[in-house]
Chain A
Amino acid sequence: MPKIKIAKKSPSLDMTPMVDLAFLLVTFFMLTTKFRPDEPVIVDQPSSISDIPLPDKGVIMITVDKNGRVFFNVEGQQIRIDILNKMAERFNLTFDDKEKKRFAVLASVGMPMSDMKAYLDASDNDRKKMNLETKGIPIDSTNNELNFWINAARNVAPRFSLAIRGDRDADIPSIKRVISILQDNKANRFALITNLEGAGVVEEPKN
């Protein structure tokens, strides 16, 4: 009987194409990822059928969390420093360069100006704790700091659009108050940030 010869095959495969593809994907994801600084509050946005995307740049964002606390955010480091300078001038405060730099790289801030210095000097962990305990930017008519923030931001960056990022369970009086402050600043057009209906909940960075 003739012996059947089994062809000897090397067990190693050529993985080059797969590896090439993997690295291509790595490059793609590395270049497209934008790391956001930690948001101090978790906001569960309501959903809507509106599909207008939020512009990447040039948005002054006011966050209202479910307890009605108000936070303020603008992107752009130089712009943030300019705004902080304006606020410092108005409240007769001085911030040193280190504090300004710290402010420039933070995300939303929800501190009354009286606590701002302590907030910027605090360590990262302490800052997280302060974010949990803060009452947000004051919006009462007697102590309307949000008004000054918006005013400063509009002065520094007049072309920026305004957006309100509210939590589903935020109470109407706070929202109305924020809208009214925007109107006081002659900002009558603004956007409400929502999720696309059926798109599920966008993951928020957890603190």
Chain B
Amino acid sequence: MAQVQEQEGGQEKGKHKKVRAKRSSTHIDMTPMVDLGFLLLTFFILTTTFSKPKTMDITMPVKDKVTEEEKTKVPASQTMSVLLTADDKIVWYMGEDDPTKPPETHVADFSQDGPASIRKVLLEKNKLVFDKVKQVEDSVRNGLIPDKEDEIKRHKAQVKAAEKKGLIVLIKPDDSSKYKNLVDILDEMLVCNVARYAIVDLSDSEKELIKNSQQ
């Protein structure tokens, strides 16, 4: 009601004296706002990091007192010990760690395809499993296995677990090695499809082996 009355009053006034409404353009200068918009845009683009950190899952054995008989015996012929040492060097040997009969050691490095690449050694020793995993990949390509990530993963895990004669790797980081070396060797396990590996402590005789191999 109040509004209507006001309007009437306004019209009456208009009769006596014409008020010319100022014609102002409906355009507002938006330049400052747009400037600010772009400033914010630049800020947010530069501060955003899209790459999320990735993780590598590892499972350690339950730390309980295990008697000598309960320990899982691993066949020596399938076992490879990888000793990580200073300066990104690897010392590896096959078979058991027997202080009385020191095994033949080899030196390797983390290069992808150098003459002493650990990947080459692992691929060769783990050919059995690696080929089977490759077969899975082939059957994906041939359409025998649906091309879904979790499906492929499941098949690969199955193949890896089924092969009992595959390589077993014992990773033994020496105190002089770096964390990077540990991650790198775990990475090689993934690349080479090594199904069974564990991080183990070094024995005294193995420390001796490292010393001897560096001479």
- Chain A residues within 8 Å of B, Cβ to Cβ: 15, 19, 22-23, 25-26, 29-30, 32-33, 45-54, 64, 163, 165-173, 175-176, 179-180, 182-184, 186, 188-197, 199, 202-203
Contact = CB atoms under 8 A, between A and B. Distances in A.
Interface in B97-123: none
Contacts of A163: 55
Contacts of B32: none
7 contacts: A22-B38, A30-B44, A48-B56, A52-B57, A53-B55, A195-B54, A196-B51
Contacts of B56: 48, 50, 52, 191-194
B179 A64 contact: yes
A46 B180 contact: yes
A193 B53 contact: yes
Contacts of B58: 189-192
Contacts of B71: none
B41 A26 contact: yes
A33 to B, nearest CB: 5
Interface in B29-81: 30, 34, 37-38, 40-41, 44-45, 47-49, 51-63
Contacts of B44: 26, 29-30, 33
A54 B180 contact: no
Contact of A169 (B38, B48, B61, B180): B180
Given A33-B48, A54-B55, 18 more contacts: A25-B41, A26-B40, A30-B40, A30-B44, A45-B53, A51-B54, A53-B53, A172-B84, A172-B181, A172-B182, A186-B62, A188-B63, A191-B58, A192-B183, A194-B53, A194-B55, A195-B54, A197-B187
Interface residues of B, number: 43
**How would you classify the secondary structure of chain A's contact residues: helix, strand, loop or mixed?**
mixed
B157 interface: no
**How would you classify the secondary structure of chain B's contact residues: helix, strand, loop or mixed?**
mixed
Interface string B124-166: 0000000000000000000000000000000000000000000
B96 interface: no
7 A-B pairs with the lowest CB-CB distances in the bound complex, closest first: A29-B44, A191-B55, A168-B180, A170-B179, A183-B63, A46-B183, A50-B56
A52 B186 CA distance: 14
Interface of B: 30, 34, 37-38, 40-41, 44-45, 47-49, 51-63, 84, 173-184, 186-187, 190-191, 199, 201
Given A22-B41, A26-B44, A32-B48, A176 B173 contact: yes
Contacts of A50: 54-56, 187, 190
Nearest to B173: A172
A185 B46 CA distance: 41
Contacts of A45: 53
Nearest to B40: A26
Given A22-B41, A169-B180, A48 B186 contact: yes
Contacts of A180: 63
B62 to A, nearest CB: 6
A30 B190 CA distance: 38
A203 B49 contact: yes
A195 B44 CA distance: 23
Contact of A49 (B47, B59, B182, B191): B191
Centre residue among A25, A49, A172 by max chain B CB count within 10 A: A172
Nearest to B176: A172
Contacts of A48: 54, 56, 183-184, 186-187, 190
